[in-house]
Amino acid sequence: MDFRDLHNHEAPLLLGNVWDVPGARIFEKLRYDAVGTSSAAIASMLGYKDGEQIPFSELQYIVRRIISSTSLPVSVDIENGYSRNAIEVVENVDALIQMGVAGINIEDSVIKDNGCRQLLDPSAFAEIITAITRYKNETGSRLFVNVRTDAWLIGIDNALEETLKRLPFYENAGADGIFVPCVEKSEDIGRVVKATPLPVNVMCMPNLPGFDELQLLGVKRISMGNFLHQAVGHELEQKLMSIGVSKSFNPVF
């Protein structure tokens, strides 16, 4: 099924977030409809910090291996596009399209040299989205552009108001979907959904409502983010500790 159409069903698309080929194959085996890369998980796997620290060429290599190993549609988290220049961002997006990517996530914040994440000016960021939209129109691409807005992720006090303020910029620029990571309250999710005609994507969080409630709220896509990768890493650590305590490999089996 076309990746774009998966956002139009009554039930939200549950996106399997991956960082390697085995993960993508497991999601396919379990009959998930699509997978998306987690930039933070891939960076961690390769020994980099999050925030576009991984070279784009290395991201391309991982993405190419995932795409070649699954029949599922693959969406790629490209952070802020790996450039602040619209032409260069479009070139990066084109490289992914040529590999067979079905969608991208692109976010409206960057991590500064001091390690702090900062929201970009919505008008300036919208120009990047406009450039991607123009390229899609010129080439006939069906790439699904999921625009991530990070007020809740950063934790600013007026996250709802800031998010609602940014939505028209991204809608008018041609975004196909809106991703609001770290929002948890039902009333906030409902406000965002009602404020935009675009499909809204939320992310795994400790207090996120269950999938049935999210469907009632009108959410169209649910992501796992980096939390699955963290959980797998924690499980590995616990297994290794158990091996050391038992002085045997029994915990493995």
127-183: per-residue pLDDT in tens?
999 999 999 999 999 999 999 999 999 999 999 999 999 999 999 999 999 999 999
pLDDT of res. 115: 78
Strand 177-179's sheet: what is its strand order? 13-14, 221-223, 200-203, 177-179, 144-148, 103-107, 74-77, 35-37, 16-18
Task: Categorize the per-residue pLDDT at 199 as very low, low, confident or very high, splitting at 50, 70 and 90.
Answer: very high
Q: Across all residues in the chain, what is the average pLDDT?
A: 96
Structure confidence at residue 174 (pLDDT): 98
pLDDT value of residue 113: 78
Answer yes or no: is pLDDT of 112 > 90.
Answer: no
Check whether 1 has a pLDDT greater than 90.
no
What pLDDT is attached to residue 13? 98
User: Residue 16's beta-bridge partner residues?
Assistant: 35
Backbone angles phi and psi of 80, in degrees to 5: -100, 15
> Topology of domain 4-226, per CATH?
TIM Barrel (3.20.20)
> What long-range pairs does 184-189 form, CB within 8 A, spacing at least 24?
184/208, 184/209, 186/213, 186/217, 188/152, 188/159, 188/160, 189/214, 189/217, 189/219
- C-alpha torsion angle, residues 152, 180, 143, 48 (rounded to 10): 40
149/32 Cα distance (integer angstroms)? 25
What tens digit of pLDDT does each residue of 151-160 get? 999 999 999 9
Of the candidates 65, 39, 66, 64, the residue with the CA atom closest to the CA atom of residue 54: 39
Section 3-10 average pLDDT: 96
Across the range 40-58, mean pLDDT stands at 95
pTM for the complete prediction?
Answer: 0.95
Plot region of 45 (φ>0 → left; ψ -120 to 50 → alpha; else → beta): alpha
Tell me the CB-side half-sphere exposure of residue 195, using CA atoms within 13 A: 19
- DSSP symbol at 52: T
Q: What number is the average pLDDT over the span 120-126?
A: 96
Contact, 92 vs 77, CB < 8 A?
A: no
Q: Crossing angle of helices 86-99/56-68, nearest 10°?
A: 20
Encode 207-225: b = buried (16+ Cβ within 10 Å), e = exposed: ebbeeeebbebebbbbbbb
- Looking at residues 60-81, what average pLDDT do you find? 97
Distance from the Cα of residue 86 to its chain's centroid: 20
Alpha carbon distances (Å) from 77 to 8, 74, 128, 146, 192: 21, 10, 15, 9, 22
Average pLDDT over residues 191-198: 98
